[in-house]
Structure formats: structure tokens, C-alpha cells
Structure 1
């Protein structure tokens, strides 16, 4: 276990010059984005939880061409889904009227579209072979043997925690740092057990609780959009800040036109919903989140089986010209996104951080 008690020590160990980490954002982050963040002195990231092994390896190789800086590879460590055909058929029936609205039919059957890193031996082998500077875990952590193998390869390890109890599990597992994901964060809530009670702690409250309760360095995440937010996180005891939504509007992002347009809406709001993927995730308010208000949560299939239906509905709606069924993940600070190249955004963040100190 490695303890970095200060922001400067953390940055030195991770090979970065700014206390800014880009959130992995599976489906939005690109090698170009990650490389630009790392080239600017931060820690760029690639979310490969939704990628095949081949796709993930290609992303890693492309990022390595674009930067000599460190890259963080993020993987999903959820419990493998439990198939429940009765529930899944009920879910498809519930969604059928929405599909029909866009002259489409729901899938006949749903599938577990993402394999958890915990049981994906091929992905584990590829990550070890490529040996990125940093690997981060979301939804939990893999078996101890996998953690030990990654550490033996010299890879630094991060993981998301939404509570002190989860943070202590990460500390016991021998990780290098903890990403404290506050309730304001966009995208999937990183809770280890989605059926357990969630305290829904705000980012700075969670940071202070983890700093007081564990010895590992803490990285703040959730609702952070500007250099002043990074300064507040560090003042609260974090060694760095992880920003995700702040990068979505950048041209290096793979967000589609509907996603980008939604970020510019005058009445922009976010909602925490489970209907899109089967796990709680913060999304821009759109057609899908409006429909979610009618749904009994117990009907929703396991993650990521439910996501199979969500993605199919998004495709059907987009083909009919409706962009409001996408997984438009975004944190509560989404109204403050800046549509500038990553390099420019990093310069802005650095200047704002310096001014706020």
C-alpha cells in the first residue's frame, strides 16, 4: 500500500504536473481526449468497460501513439448479471409502446452486453500485457489475485468509493488511491451493491469523511467543473480532482449531436435513473428520464441486461429523428460545460486553479 499524503506527492507518483484527472466516461472518452489531457499535465483516461478486448486494446495503442504521458484505463467490476427471463420479457412489454411510437419493435430477447472485468480473463490478460500506467475500477474491485497481478506489473490502481465502508474495502485490498464519487457525479453511480441503502453524500462531504477515515489519498469526483472546484476539493483534503462532464462538450469527445445540443439547453437539469442501463446513473433530463418517472424500479432487469434494451430504444428513436433516449450522462454542473478543445480547457482549469489558491 502506498500513501501519498499531499497533492504534490500524489502528482509526482502518478507522473502528472496538474492535480486534474479526466473521468473515464465509457462511450464518451476517446484516445484523443485522454492523450490531450495527459499532454497538458493531467491524467487522461479511457473507459473500456463497454468495449470488447480488441476495441480496448486498439484504444490503448492509439492513446500511446498520441502521448508519452500516463493513461488511466477504467474497467467495470460489477457482479455478473443474473438472467431473469420473466422480468426481461415484462420489461420488453413495458417498453414496447415507446418503440412503437418510433415505428420500431423491441428486441425479442435481452443479453448481458458487457462482461465484468472480474470474470473476463481475456480483458485481464490484455490489460496486463499492455501495462498502462494506471488501472481504475468502478462498481467494486476484481478478485485479489487480479489486483496482485496488476500491482506486480507496476500498475497503479484506483477505484471509486461512494461511502466510507467502500473506501475501507479498497484500502484493505491494497489500492493506491480512492476516487470519492459524490452524489452530484454524472454517469453510473459507483456503489458496490446497488440494492443497499445509498447515503447519497455530496462530493466535499464524502471527501472529508474519507480523508478522516482512511489513510489512502482521496481524489474528489462529482460536480466539479472549474479550477475553483478543484481548489475547493484540495482544501477539503483531496490530493486531486476528477472531472468528467467538463470534457463532454470538447471536440475530442465522442458525444453525438443530440448529446451536445442537450448540454446547451436553457432548462438543463439532471436526473438519477436506473431505467436506461439497470443501475443508478445521472443523466441529462430527456425523453428517457421523463418516461422513467412512471416506472416501478423492481421491474428493471439486471445491469447491463437492461442496457441492451436502452441502447436498442436509442437507436430506434434516433432513426426517427428523436435524440432524447440516449444515455446522456452528465453531472449536476453540466450547465457549465465549455465547448473548447481539451488543451484549451486544461489551460483554463490551470489558470482558474492558480487564481483560486
Structure 2
């Protein structure tokens, strides 16, 4: 069983690009399990985040999250096709493709990151190391386990949950179809096209709880104390919440993303402003977010997008150009499918939100 070392059954979802230690530390101090996303950090950046976490929330358990995808082989023809598709937008922005480097913007766990963890004093090590897109290579996983960390990973199907337990996971995060951000599915030849087995949390959670003998954390569409209570009653040991935390002052969410979440909540669940979709045009892999111009004009799913995470390189200058004009045309607005119902959660600090979700405030 997972060793429970924090008071409330609330886990703040790791959200790369939208938060760092400030949000995680605030959640930890309030009695939840805060999470630091490492998928977009360098080893040096990870050292800084972990040092800041130790200073802001000393001796508090936290979760450190890594991606563990297999990096794709760069294909120049695929990259050229993608940039050709985006050329009208690039011309309007005055962007010269020759000046825009290709490459990955997100990286899986590697030996250099594990070495950072191995150099940490015991008191600063994460209580949990969680993964998205499966688990890392056995040798790396063994080194992480030797540090005394619990191993968690996301499953979007029962088969994935069973695979994770068979390969060393101490707990499984059941990621329902409602969840914002990247889908964690990994037992598939083509993660873009093979979305058929994906299920909403109400179906997925009890199925995974029945299939594995380890604790299960529920994720997807959870944004209220009632939601947390419901997943606990359905067998989860904790609820992982992401979208609601994006609006907290401790998050690094961009002003445009915050405004989109507020608009969705103000307009309500049935409004156009609150409609989300799974899209691969922002990173190359299915992820759920609010609609923007790129999704409407080239997606949500597009066969021309390079494999994750290569699709985002060409979007970097387009995003900067649009955001400078106050537009989110090329910005990821990650959000769960129930973001239109988040009104009661907005306007709260991370500590207030954590206690509220746990039924303590």
C-alpha cells in the first residue's frame, strides 16, 4: 500500500509549463500532496526547483513528476510538411522558418535527472516520483526506487494499470477521459489514432480498482469537494486535481490562460467558451484543452503534426507573436472537460483550494 504521509486525500496534478515549486509548496503546506513537473526542466533547473521546494515547504512530502516517452526520430520531411501547413500564419507574423530551430521541448527521465535526485540529502527527496506515458527503463526505475520514493504512474485503461503494477508501480493514477492536458496512454502503436479504449473516470476508476491490488488515485474532471468524496467512495485513495489549481495565484498560468478559464467558468458548462477537445496540434500527442485558433483551423487532430513533442517547436515564435497581441491563437489552454463548472473553485489560493476540496473549508 502507498504510505500516506500527508493529511488530506488531495493531490495537485503536475502541470508542466504552468507551475513550479510555488504551487506545489503551497499545497503541501495546506496538507495536500503538491507536485513539481520536471518534463520541461534541465538538470540545473531541477536542482533550483528542488532547492526552492525544500526552503518553502521543509520536511513536507511532495511528488516529482517525469515524462517517460520514447523520443521520436526526427523526420525532416514530416517537419517540412508541418511548417508548410503553418506558413500562412508564419508569413503574417513575419517569421522566417530558417531562423526557427526544430527539436524537442519536453524530455523523458534520463540518467542526468536521476543523478540530481541521488545527490539530494534524504530530507529533500520527493516522497513520490510519478510518471506519465508508462515507466522509464528498468535500470533508471531501480535507481529511483533505491532512493526510497514511491512510484506512481498514469493509466488510461485497465490493461495499462495491470502493466504498470507488473512493472513496478506502487500506485496507479486512473486518468479519466475528462482530464485536462496530455493523455497518459502508452500501450499503443499510435497514441494519436488509438483513442478508442479511453473511458470517462466513472467507468475507468472502478474497473482499475477491481483489476489491481495497489492504491488508485483518481484523476479527470474533479473540481469540488463533492467530486473528491465521490471518487473516494468509488475506491480511490486520493483525488488528483489539475485544472482548478491553474487559477490559483501560486500557479504560473499565463494571463491569457487564466482569462480563458475564467470565461469558461463564467459562461457555464454548456457554453462555447467552456468546450474542450483532445488535440495533437499543440504538441504532437493528444491533450485536452480549450479551443484556440490553431485547433479550429488545423485540428483538433491533424495528421501533419510531428510526433510528440516535436510539433511544438514551430509554434514557439507563433505563440510569442500572438500572445504579444493579447491572443491565445497558438497557446495551449489545457483544461479538463468540466472547466465550465469550476466557478466555486476560482479565486481561491492554493491552500484554500486544497482545504476546500478536502471538505475542510
- In the TM superposition, what whole-angstrom CA distance separates every residue of 1:239-295 from its partner, at most 9, and x where no partner exists? 110000010000001011111111122322211100000000001112222123386
**Aligned positions, number:** 340
Matched, 1:121 2:111: yes
Q: State the Cα distance separating 1:303 from its structure 2 match.
A: 0.9
Query: Unaligned stretches of 5+ in structure 1?
Result: 5-9
Q: Is the 8 A contact 2:128 2:151 kept in 1?
A: yes
Equivalent position of 2:76 in the other structure: 85
Q: Is the 8 A contact 2:201 2:218 kept in 1?
A: yes
Distance in 2 of aligned mates of 1:325 and 1:226: 30
Q: Is the 8 A contact 1:273 1:292 kept in 2?
A: no
Equivalent position of 2:221 in the other structure: 223
Residue of structure 2 aligned with 1:148, choices 142, 145, 148: 142
Distance in 1 of aligned mates of 2:194 and 2:324: 38
Change (3 A) 1:287 1:176: same
When the two chains are superposed, the root-mean-square deviation of aligned CA atoms in Å is 1.7
Change (3 A) 1:77 1:105: same
- In the TM superposition, what whole-angstrom CA distance separates every residue of 1:109-163 from its partner, at most 9, and x where no partner exists? 421233321xx21112112333321100001110112222211211111100111
Equivalent position of 1:346 in the other structure: 354
What does residue range 61-210 of structure 1 map to in structure 2 within 5 Å? 61-67=51-57, 68-106=59-97, 108-117=100-109, 120-130=110-120, 131-192=125-186, 193=188, 194=191, 197-198=194-195, 199-210=197-208
Q: State the Cα distance separating 1:60 from its structure 2 match.
A: 1.2
Q: State the Cα distance separating 1:196 from its structure 2 match.
A: 6.3
Q: State the Cα distance separating 1:18 from its structure 2 match.
A: 0.6
TM-score, scaled relative to structure 2: 0.90
Q: State the Cα distance separating 1:183 from its structure 2 match.
A: 0.5
Distance in 2 of aligned mates of 1:196 and 1:169: 21
Q: State the Cα distance separating 1:326 from its structure 2 match.
A: 0.8
Distance in 1 of aligned mates of 2:244 and 2:100: 38
Distance in 1 of aligned mates of 2:167 and 2:311: 30
Equivalent position of 1:7 in the other structure: none
Which stretch shifts more, 208-217 or 297-306?
A: 297-306
Query: Unaligned stretches of 5+ in structure 2?
Result: 268-272
Residue of structure 2 aligned with 1:56, choices 38, 46, 53: 46
- In the TM superposition, what whole-angstrom CA distance separates every residue of 1:4-35 from its partner, at most 9, and x where no partner exists? 3xxxxx4xx13111110000001112211101
Distance in 2 of aligned mates of 1:310 and 1:166: 31
Q: State the Cα distance separating 1:195 from its structure 2 match.
A: 5.1
